[in-house]
Amino acid sequence: MRVEAKILLWLGLFFGIMCAVYWTWSMENAGGVMMFFGTGLCLLPGSYYYWWSRRMGPRAEDDPNATQESGAGYVDAFPGSSIFPFTLGMGAFCIVLAMVFGSWMLIPGLALVIWAALGGIAEGRRGGTR
């Protein structure tokens, strides 16, 4: 994860510098805010990956002298299919629609988000559907 962390951290640094330059020269708020959030979108996962790379130690992918056998072994368990990511997305979509069309759309949006959160937690604790 160290390579991914370095790429994202350097990209976040680049976006941060470009954000400062752009906002200083253009004095336009919308582009500056978007570049600021772009910086955050790089620095947040980059720092998370860097933290995990220091905690886990080097992986076979991070070692330039690694062989194919050094990456073999147990990979991990992957979650099964679920309806709850779609439900969460539709709830978020309804919440965004509430900002455009009226606050009455908040009711189904919040209901879907809560249902997706509770369903995802319950499915994750019992191991998903097989």
Please tell me the predicted confidence (pLDDT) of residue 22: 94
Encode pLDDT of 64-98 as tens digits.
Answer: 888 888 878 776 666 678 899 999 999 999 999 99
Q: Enumerate helices (H) and strands (E) in the chain, giving the number of each.
A: 4, 0
CB 119 within 8 A of CB 107: no
Look-up: residue for tokens 């097989």? 130
Neighbours of 113 (CB within 10 A): 18
pLDDT higher than 60, residue 128: no
Which are the contacts of 99, defined by CB distance < 8 A and separation ≥ 6?
A: none
CB 66 within 8 A of CB 60: yes
Is the CA virtual torsion 122, 125, 126, 127 positive or negative?
positive
Encode pLDDT of 19-66 as tens digits.
Answer: 999 999 998 889 999 999 999 999 999 999 999 888 887 777 777 888
